[in-house]
Structure 1
């Protein structure tokens, strides 16, 4: 039972996932600081409002529990997209290229065949149609 757990934990996907969570958490602080201290002041300089958090609507007057804060959702979405882009372009894409190069060097991944041209595909379809017609004529004559 413990051997199975050990195999599960040491599997590459679990370790990669743990690393991604830790790095994502670290990037969250960086992106939040970037948004708060660079993007929001630029928005304040251009539009007068320091952030989009002012886009809140109170559904029932006098009850602060009924505030729907669209600005917080927009800010969170922007932060998420920035974090995802940073992780993809800084970590995932280079690692994929490195893994692909290592696999080619080891000979595990064979060179990809070039896709057949349109003419070749059409000729193959014509050949197959002619074969099917010949086989159906042979059945009708017998």
Structure 2
């Protein structure tokens, strides 16, 4: 049973998942730092303060902290914008550049024959 457990842990999927998780946590720290240390101060310059957590109202004994919600929404939008502008757009630009580069390259006669052979072999029943 220990050997089976060891084999399970050493499978590529588990190791890849663990690496992806660690990289994701590190990336989240970078994005959070970008938002908290660079973007939120800019918002504070425009609006006047970066944290609205002290905004509340009461109804009877219940305290509604709507300021914390506003701060969370602003932080979410800032994180989404940072990921979009600094990760998604550059990756799309790189993918478009790669696709453009591969379309411009002519295929040699030998490569075309190999592709035709593979297509013929996979088309057979």
TM-score (norm 1): 0.45
Higher RCO structure, 1 or 2 (CA under 8 Å, sep 6+): 2
TM-score (norm 2): 0.50
Flag the structure with larger Rg: 1
